[in-house]
Structure 1
Amino acid sequence: MDATINGEPRVTATDAALDLIADIRRDYPQILFHQSGGCCDGSSPMCYPADDFMIGDHDVKLGEIGGVPVYISGSQFEAWKHTQLIIDVVPGRGGMFSLDNGREKRFLTRSRLFGGGEACALPG
């Protein structure tokens, strides 16, 4: 799986998200994101200490934001493979187990469909 489609990353982050990632990394230098599949915290991107989350055999690495890997389950990737994920930050409480919880800001996934030449470059 390519981390880019015609040069466009599968996952990117806003400046606000990169700032929050840097803040979290001061307390937890090694972190990762896993795009939630809609359980307890909806479809929030969950941020974990890297050694506290086990990547599954079917998880797909979308790329990195701010030097932090971002994963998604294989089944959810199949549904979203035509979409660029944009990790952003909004006011509020983070997911119960996510490291953004308690910082009065939370990560949020926005998205856009790959279009034109990008979509043509997607594997079947």
Structure 2
Amino acid sequence: MDLPDLAWYCEVRAEVYGLLARLFRDPPDERLLAVIRHPDFVREWPVGRGQPDVDRGLERLAAALPAVDPDALRHEFWHLFGTLGPAAAPPWQSVYLDREGALMGEETLR
């Protein structure tokens, strides 16, 4: 990979990671959901093509997005990460590794 290709590749990866970070932090708003629903979004996804898991995930995403209800998506997001009560999937490693499922417990201190 020559230097201009490497710079482009790094820029693309940075944008992908920025998008993933945004989706992890907050559910997509109407504008972002419209961008993600556009057929070119999945068709032109720039990272990981040719890897079976990535290709399969993108196919599933393209099939599921048209039916996504924005309100249900927001509710599911907040339920998943615990804003509406106990988290269905806590995003903290210590919950899974600590013997008692504690946050900031022994595992965190290690």
TM-score, normalized by the shorter chain, greater than 0.5? no
Q: Which has the higher helix share?
A: 2
The one of the two structures with greater contact order (alpha-carbon pairs below 8 A, sep at least 6) is 1
Q: TM-score range by the shorter chain?
A: under 0.3
Report which of the two structures shows the higher radius of gyration computed on alpha carbons: 2
When you count strand as a share of all residues, which structure comes out higher? 1
TM-score normalised by L of structure 1: 0.20
